[in-house]
Amino acid sequence: MRARLSRLTTRTAAAAVALSCAVVSGAAVPAERASAATIPVNPSTGLRPGVTPLVVPGSRAALRPFSAAQHLSYFGGRVVSNVQVVQVLYGTGSYAPEVATTTAPSIASFYANVTNSNYFDWLAEYDTPTGTNQHIGHGTFLSQVQITPAAANNGATITDAQIQTEISSQIAASTLPAPTHDAAGNDNTYYALFFPHGKTISQGGSLSCHAGGFAAYHGTIANAGGHGEIYYGVQPDFQIGSGCDTGTGSGTREQNETSVASHELVETVTDPEVGLATVVGAPLAWYNNTFGEIGDICNAQQGSIVGGDGFTYTVQQQFDNVSNTCVTIGPLPAVPSVSIGDVTALEGDTTTRTMTFPVTLSTPATTAVTVQYAITGVTATAGPKPTAGVDVVAKTGTLTFALTAAGTTPITKTVVATIHGDTTPESTETFHVTLSAPTGGYALGRDTGTGTILDDDGIAPGRTFGIGDVAIRAARSGGQKVSVPVAMSSKAAAPVTVTYQVTFGTASYSTTAAGGGDFGGKLNGTLTFPAGATVKTIALPIWPDAAGGDAAETFTITLSGLSDGTITLVRSAGSVTIIGA
């Protein structure tokens, strides 16, 4: 079921809110006066826009058959191009363990993985070429921040106006990071607020986790202290006795928490300015006048995705205009697309090394195709050249898929990122390689690749050795290879060998593409590092996914038998993730 529009709160010039909530069955929701024209209340839930209703048997937020009337229409507002999630813990108190930690599986790891998964790929159908001209791509998880709210904004019952004031104050104080923006200046940051046990949220005349109330919502601040629009979500505690320990889904507490979190996240991406709307029109983006936002239509209908960390995360299904139903992973755009994968590699010591990102066309082209790329830091520091304090070289460029003698383009090209090693123990760091502006009739598919730099300092004395991970998108036709990096932290004076063994996971193996497997190649072998070399790769063919729509599948490459006993094998297993075409 979805959250529906109820009347907006009285707004000031600085702030407005929209909700996406879950209704608790029972009591009617009090109407609230608005200062301007109001958007109609969602008749299926009685709640305001952006609010996720609690699901209880017999409530108005009951599931319904799908019809063409439920399709989302575009009204001209912004979407979020590449969402950047900041998880905010609102003060001290009792938090569920998975909410308070960043160790997987957790709410933090959920955001990190779901925003960079095929759960997001198909949302490109909600791009806005006729309005704000934005493309919805992958996102990132930036950080978890615990704030200390002002006492006036942190009572037993906290109003939405107090939450808006607190967000603005915390950004002004630099406790919360300032919002980031896409190239056109549209906001990318989403502040996902979580509250400790015993806190009740008041919004739009209804209360969190109470009869007739809601389970969560997302909102908009028009201008937070000169930082422009702010997009935020509110999710109360789901622990036993909270009132939200029932009515928020059919799974465990952890599953229901991530399901509701995904509801608000995707609604923010596809309709972030709902809190500023006074009529059914701009600045609404993707919205249905009767049924609300993309998650509202499918409220409490759950699915799951496997994250890049190997954990399974529960998500709420979202409404797909193409198939006219609720989906976990919707169909990718029918037009051919260009996508980029992910790479994980060891950092190394004081020398530079490269990380090679596979860029894949869904099908070969009969004319040349180009795509722009940009390498930027996330937690890794990007700079103009590899030097002390710079983790990755910032770079922009054009990748060209030129015609071959056969009259078609190759399926795969690569973007090479240069990283700079050091000997200082530090956390794992990440950077992005972002694609844009494809030509030749191709659309963007998976537009953001994540580079993960694994620290190899302080793990063991002397030289270290290990294998990385790669994610690559399968093509609909044509051949391509995945190259998995194997690296030493510094050069050896004599050749070094290591053996490898491929182990099947969810991906299947066949010796040829006609055999129906996902990948092929040698299942074991020996890799030789000549004297002075620090990086080699293991290359294996990835077979086409002609039908498309396969879930992400994985296999593992394990190293053993290092020839030099003075070298420490710090990462012996690397994973390859094949993302469905």
Residue 208 has a pLDDT of 96
Of 177, 148, 173, 149, give the one whose Cα is nearest residue 163: 149
* CB-CB contact of 54 with 23 (8 Å): yes
Q: Phi/psi zone of residue 334: left (φ > 0), alpha (ψ -120 to 50 degrees), beta?
A: alpha
pTM tops 0.75, yes or no:
no
Q: Domains in the chain, start-ordered, CATH in brackets?
A: 19-61+73-320 (no CATH), 337-579 (2.60.40.2030)
Tokens of 194: 């979580």
pLDDT tens digit sequence for 263-320: 999 999 999 999 999 888 999 999 998 889 999 999 889 999 999 888 999 999 999 9
Rg (CA), the chain: 24
State yes or no: cis peptide before 105, omega within 30 of 0.
yes
pLDDT tens digit sequence for 157-208: 999 999 999 999 999 999 999 999 988 899 999 999 999 999 999 998 899 9
Q: Phi/psi zone of residue 386: left (φ > 0), alpha (ψ -120 to 50 degrees), beta?
A: beta
Residue 66 has a pLDDT of 54
Residue 72 has a pLDDT of 93
Of 114, 115, 111, give the one whose Cα is nearest residue 102: 111
